[in-house]
Chain A
Amino acid sequence: MANQFLIKETMAKMKELSTSEITALQNGTYDGVQLLGYHKKGDTPAPIIYHYVDLLKDPDPGPDDGGSVIVVGGIKLFHNYVGDINLLYFGRQEGQVLNSYLTKALRITANTGSFTIIPKGSFLIDRSYTPVFNARIKGIDRNLTKIILNPATATNSGAF
């Protein structure tokens, strides 16, 4: 039954796929999982579809990065981002440190001309964050997207 998708409201629920659901993905009953939000339904810009990766036929998309590759129950689900990536798809929430998730998203958008988008809200960043080559980062608006130096990483050297 091609082009049928399991539907999950949150990432947590997607990572709790049952044995029968995993079997259904493996045998082709479902092509993948449609995710309606990350922490709660509707908290991402739009639902996205994670496809089942048949590692016997398809290239390995890499380790679980919390946004494009999800490992659950011994299988891998993969969403192929095309265009800009909003960090909401990686589950970023206000007050959290951006660094590692920025890097995960930038590894996908770099060299494509697309942006990694930091959502509305205030976020921390550890000092001296170095983006990958060909990185494009944008917020929603300078009055809406705020990046604050993480005090735990500050020094007295004037370091960036």
Chain B
Amino acid sequence: MFLNLNGNFELTDVELDANAPNLSASVSRSSGIDNRHAVSNATYKRLRIKNAKTVTPNFSGGYGITFWHGGCDNVTIDDIEFENIGQSDLGLFEMENWTVRNIKSKNCGYMVINVESSNKSRGVKNGVVDTVYASNVGRSVISLIRNSASVGDVESVTVQNVYVDKCGLTNSDVGGIRVRGTKNCTIDNVKINECNSIGIRVSGDWFGFKGTVNSYADLASLTGLNKGDIYRVSSEGLLYTYLDNQFQQQGQGQSQELLKCKNLVLSNISINKIQTTVNGEGVRVQGEAFCSHDDITLSDIYIGNSQSTGVLATYSNRITVNNLKIDKVNTS
């Protein structure tokens, strides 16, 4: 509805109705507010943004508010109600120096707050998310992830005081709160009543990794290659990336440097009920495909009624877990 391409934009005290339920299926992907072109200074207060969810459920509609394609710096978002948004309520993809406070979300089809450094991004940095009440969330309540193709970081972001009734309703894997490849981020005081997914998932996905070959010579026999494909040569212990029609040595661990989490603190986490039959850990801190994390602190964790593992932590360096409490971990 609104495009902020010029900067210095303030919008307060209105309801924005993206009107998707009343649109025909062919034109039904409407959204709320779009900030782009690397402008500065946007303020949104006391708004209600609703009905960006199409008749097709879940990840099918529009956004509430996004910052991308250059994004916006110096942003204040305070006291916003989101209702029936198809994609993310807040898509924070390219921005610096921002605060998001006092968010209420109902029936979000995707992620309530998606902090994700996107392709060609300059990153998402120096931000605070404070006080979020969410219910009936399709995927994650909070997502802090570095996109696999991003050239920017998710860095110095604090998320605190998040209260959730039900999340992960349509996805059992992504996680109620998801973290990947962040630097110096903190998530503090999260209370989830019922999660139909992993409660908190800290992953180290390594996009582009295709497999392992025995020797360098074996690379020449590979077919169907695409730019960016990564293979590990086990005899050398090195990684090679397929670029410009040839493999280039990347050295061991370059990709993991991009997507590992560094200096991550998860504290005061309470998940009352993990309600799923697959991937149902309360907290999963896991490296994947050679990726490990550095300096993760888990403190004051409460997991109740989990159908699976309470806390799973693998492939990570220097994980500290303090005051961990796990109650009634029911596995099957």
- On whether the beta carbons of A133 and B7 are closer than 8 Å, the reply is yes
Residue of A nearest to B49 (CB): A142
| B62 contact set on A, CB distance < 8 A | 158, 160
- On whether the beta carbons of B2 and A149 are closer than 8 Å, the reply is no
Residue of A nearest to B16 (CB): A147
Mask: chain B, 1-12; 1 = CB below 8 Å from A; 0 = not = 111111111111
**B236 contacts A by Cβ under 8 Å:** no
- On whether the beta carbons of A133 and B14 are closer than 8 Å, the reply is no
Out of B8, B30, B32, B34, name the residue touching A154 (CB < 8 Å): B30
Q: What is the bound-complex CA distance between A125 and B11, given in angstroms?
A: 14
Q: A142-B46, A160-B33 are in contact. Are A131 and B2 (CB under 8 A)?
A: yes
Min distance, Cβ B146 to any Cβ of chain A, angstroms: 23
The DSSP consensus for interface residues of chain A is: loop
Stretch at the interface among B18-26, B94-102, B294-302, B324-332: B18-26
**A146 contacts B by Cβ under 8 Å:** yes
Min distance, Cβ B103 to any Cβ of chain A, angstroms: 14
| B46 contact set on A, CB distance < 8 A | 141-142
**A49 contacts B by Cβ under 8 Å:** no
- On whether the beta carbons of A160 and B1 are closer than 8 Å, the reply is yes
| B30 contact set on A, CB distance < 8 A | 127, 149, 154-155, 158-160
Min distance, Cβ A148 to any Cβ of chain B, angstroms: 4
**B220 contacts A by Cβ under 8 Å:** no
- On whether the beta carbons of B31 and A132 are closer than 8 Å, the reply is no
Residue of B nearest to A155 (CB): B27
**B265 contacts A by Cβ under 8 Å:** no
| A61 contact set on B, CB distance < 8 A | none
- On whether the beta carbons of B23 and A138 are closer than 8 Å, the reply is no
- On whether the beta carbons of A132 and B6 are closer than 8 Å, the reply is yes
Residues of A120-160 contacting chain B, CB below 8 A: 125, 127-143, 145-149, 151, 154-160
**A118 contacts B by Cβ under 8 Å:** yes
- On whether the beta carbons of B9 and A135 are closer than 8 Å, the reply is yes
Min distance, Cβ A129 to any Cβ of chain B, angstroms: 6
Residue of A nearest to B87 (CB): A158
- On whether the beta carbons of B18 and A149 are closer than 8 Å, the reply is yes
Residue of B nearest to A140 (CB): B13
| A132 contact set on B, CB distance < 8 A | 6
**A/B interface sample: 15 pairs, CB < 8 A:** A127-B30, A129-B2, A133-B7, A137-B14, A138-B12, A138-B14, A142-B47, A143-B15, A147-B17, A148-B17, A151-B22, A151-B23, A155-B27, A156-B26, A160-B3
Q: Which residues of A does B touch, CB under 8 Å?
A: 115, 118, 125, 127-143, 145-149, 151, 154-160
